[in-house]
Chains A and B, each alone.
Chain A
Amino acid sequence: MGEDQGKSTGTMPLLEAWMKSATEFWASMANIGSISTTSGEEKPQQKEAQKSRAQETLESALKMLGSLSSAAGEPETADSIFKGMNVFPGMMSKIAQTAWETYSHFQQQWMETAGRAGSRTEAYKFDDLDKDVFRAWSELYEQEFRKFLHIPQLGLTRFYQERMSLLSDKYTIFQGIIAKFLHILSLPMEKSFKVLEEKVASLADEGNLPQDPNDYYKIWIKVLEGHYMVLFKSPEYTKALGETLDAMEDFLLVRQEMFQDLMQTLPVPTNKEMDDVYKELYLLKKRLKKLEKEHSTG
């Protein structure tokens, strides 16, 4: 500590000299500025009146710098600066520590999220893998990732950012649901091949195996049609169809709002504006037709 003190006192005269010269420099700059504006034959009052706002601002800034330099040149201030310089390494290390802790906290959160992603499917179990994939994905997204898209937005552009986040959210949900729906649609195909295998095996046992390859196709397409009929009549399918349509409609509605934002910046009418015009036109035409009818019958 004593050593530090000694070092600081050793540099003090140098700092004082530098501060003094800086003060003189800013004062002379201010003078040059005012001399250049008052040169010529015009009266001082006229010149004063004609001073531009830019000049005034420059002068005021130079004066402020001058005063700051002069204040900084005072021995007490210089001392305080040196004390501050001594504290600087400690402050930097504190900021770094806080930043590291925050980073570690977020990293831990992400690791936990990733860990939970792993725990949503059973290891080395592939029986229900296809079903589980969609369930795990939707659970993972809804419980772990979705909340990040719902962080409240701040500031002037908050509504636009919110709509962008909502679009990402609805798009991700729609993608997950449509993948599940397509998977359901592929199930009859998968099952029909299994049934075909069984049928062929039983026909082989009976010794009635068709010789024409077309006959196999006919058996398969009939089985496939039957499986689709069973699937389509099931409440699970109706539910999946409803969910898919709902997700698609949600996505389209949010996408429309996003486009609305984008279109507003272009010199073209938006869908919403056109719909208002169309509605007005529709009502006017309806009224006109009614009046025409009344007029022709009356």
Chain B
Amino acid sequence: MSQPKIPLDLILENLAEDAEKSTKLARAGSEVLLSQLETGIATTPYDVVYEEDRVKLKHYRPVADSKLRTPLMVVYALINRETMLDLQPGRSVVEKFLKEGIDVYMVDWGYPTRKDKFLTIDDHINGYMDNIVNFIRRRHNLAKINLMGICMGGTFSVIYSALHPQKIRNLVTTVTPTNFDTDQGLLHIWMKDIDVDRMVDAFGNMPGDLMNFGFLLLNPARLMIDKYVGFFQNMDDKAFVENFVRMEKWIFDSPDVPGETFRQFVKDCYHMNLLIQSKMEVGGKRVDLKKITMPLLNFYGKYDHLVPPGACELLTSSVGSRDTEDVCLDTGHIGIYVSSKCQREFAPKIAGWLRERDEKGKRTKPARTKSTIKQIENIMKANQEK
């Protein structure tokens, strides 16, 4: 007897088995969902040491002897919340930094309301950020501190470092867009065509929920279907459910973005790509990337669909510093901070890199000065002539 082309009997048998499994899963899942779940996020202890308007500065309580003289200030994006760096014990960048002996400060941008709609990029960078940097400098009696930026917070950190290089010892940028003239990510394609003036006039502040909906539309098959199928398939696993709910809590906790800040960010960056060309103006001053002379460590994700490599990798070659390093991880936009694999690489790499450059900059290669640039140019010219 020959084998049938369509093994209908086997398919039906598997289907019946699956139906039985699904029933068991649903029963077990409902027990898990009805049980006491640990879904708290941002549980690492901290103190609010500075407040200005809606903005707060968190200082995490040290858990180990400080191995770095210079504290680290972390600046998150205005989109979503900084709680992503401290999702859960054992999967927290903040926790890892503390264990590595880094003194960690984190900016919490809060929830902008209608009264914040006039706040510009200048107000965020030369206002809030500068006040916070000065506060930390005074608190530690230091001339310079370390600065780490995430996504849009990274872009702010780049601008800040270019405008106030005398206050920053080392700069770490992670998934930070600086070159917006790329077709690698859908966000970059879509943003080019939006009428931001009309949008800001209509909404005042850019609604966080609308932006979140836009992010879901970047990959609806995975983010709106497959993700929840995965949840259903694992709903009998308490640890999985807890992690899943934590992530949901973080993803949909989206503050609005102040209207004027959004307007300038879209126009200057997405529409005109001024930052990477050192043509952007903030607070009446040109943001010259060549003034970023401090060491720079630049992280980005190979599979990041929001801030693709093309948006990140030009930074190191555009700044004035010669102590620069690009690190491309095999992950996406969020995976850098939360995936177990990246957890092993990301925070330890930053801690080690900062430690190397902490001892009064002894081991830090000198920043490019006018004379060194001239020397390099002469050498290159001589090589070309040869």
**Interface membership of B118, Cβ < 8 A:** yes
Query: Out of B5, B119, B198, B225, which one reaches A224, CB within 8 Å?
Result: B225
CB <8 Å contact, A228 and B220:
yes
CB <8 Å contact, A242 and B193:
yes
Shortest CB–CB separation between residue B116 and chain A, in angstroms? Answer: 8
Most-contacted residue by chain A among B123, B202, B225 (CB, 10 A)? B202
CB <8 Å contact, B193 and A225:
no
**Interface membership of A56, Cβ < 8 A:** no
**Interface membership of B186, Cβ < 8 A:** yes
B195 neighbours in A (Cβ, 8 Å): 242, 245-246, 249
B189 neighbours in A (Cβ, 8 Å): 232-233, 238
B251 neighbours in A (Cβ, 8 Å): none
**Residues from 103 to 147 in B contacting A, C-beta threshold 8 Å:** 114-115, 117-119, 123, 127
Chain B: interface size category: 35 or more
**Interface membership of B194, Cβ < 8 A:** yes
CB <8 Å contact, B199 and A228:
no
**Interface membership of A279, Cβ < 8 A:** yes
**Interface membership of B229, Cβ < 8 A:** yes
**Interface membership of B245, Cβ < 8 A:** no
A214 neighbours in B (Cβ, 8 Å): 18
**Interface membership of A278, Cβ < 8 A:** yes
B225 neighbours in A (Cβ, 8 Å): 221, 224
**Interface membership of A83, Cβ < 8 A:** no
Q: Name A283's closest neighbour in chain B (CB-CB).
A: B118
CB <8 Å contact, A249 and B190:
no
A271 neighbours in B (Cβ, 8 Å): 114
Chain A: interface size category: 35 or more
CB <8 Å contact, B203 and A252:
yes
A279 neighbours in B (Cβ, 8 Å): 118
Given contacts A209-B6, A232-B218, A281-B115, contact A253 B14 (CB under 8 A): no
**Residues from 209 to 261 in B contacting A, C-beta threshold 8 Å:** 217-222, 225-226, 229
Interface code B1-36, partner A: CB below 8 Å = 1, 0 otherwise?
001011100110011001000000000000000000
Interface code B270-293, partner A: CB below 8 Å = 1, 0 otherwise?
000000000000000000000000
Counted as pairs of residues, one from A and one from B, with CB atoms less than 8 Å apart, the total is: 88
**Interface membership of B201, Cβ < 8 A:** yes
Query: Out of B11, B123, B229, which one reaches A209, CB within 8 Å?
Result: B11
Given contacts A225-B222, A242-B194, contact A213 B14 (CB under 8 A): yes
Interface code A228-256, partner B: CB below 8 Å = 1, 0 otherwise?
11001100001101100110111011001
Interface code A167-207, partner B: CB below 8 Å = 1, 0 otherwise?
00000000000000000010010000000000000001101
B220 neighbours in A (Cβ, 8 Å): 185, 228
B219 neighbours in A (Cβ, 8 Å): 225, 228-229
A188 neighbours in B (Cβ, 8 Å): 221
Q: Name A279's closest neighbour in chain B (CB-CB).
A: B118
Q: Name B3's closest neighbour in chain A (CB-CB).
A: A207
**Interface membership of A282, Cβ < 8 A:** yes
Query: Out of A212, A245, A246, A278, which one reaches B118, CB within 8 Å?
Result: A278
**Interface membership of A286, Cβ < 8 A:** yes
CB <8 Å contact, B118 and A289:
no
A88 neighbours in B (Cβ, 8 Å): none
**Interface membership of A142, Cβ < 8 A:** no
A46 neighbours in B (Cβ, 8 Å): none
Shortest CB–CB separation between residue A86 and chain B, in angstroms? Answer: 66
CB <8 Å contact, A245 and B114:
no
Shortest CB–CB separation between residue A123 and chain B, in angstroms? Answer: 36
Given contacts A213-B11, A238-B190, contact A249 B201 (CB under 8 A): yes
CB <8 Å contact, A278 and B5:
no
Shortest CB–CB separation between residue A233 and chain B, in angstroms? Answer: 7
CA distance A252 to B186 in the complex (A): 26
CB <8 Å contact, A246 and B222:
no
Given contacts A238-B193, A282-B118, contact A209 B5 (CB under 8 A): yes
Shortest CB–CB separation between residue B162 and chain A, in angstroms? Answer: 20
16 other contacts beyond A233-B189, A282-B118, with CB at 8 A cut-off? A211-B14, A212-B14, A221-B226, A224-B221, A229-B219, A238-B190, A239-B193, A241-B193, A242-B193, A242-B195, A245-B199, A249-B199, A249-B201, A249-B202, A249-B203, A278-B117
Please provide the 9 A-B residue pairs with the shortest distance between their CB atoms, ordered closest to farther.
Answer: A249-B202, A225-B221, A278-B115, A224-B221, A282-B118, A252-B202, A211-B10, A249-B198, A207-B5
Question: 16 pairs across A/B with beta carbons < 8 Å?
Answer: A204-B6, A211-B10, A212-B14, A213-B11, A217-B229, A221-B221, A221-B222, A224-B225, A245-B194, A245-B195, A248-B202, A249-B202, A252-B203, A253-B201, A253-B202, A278-B117
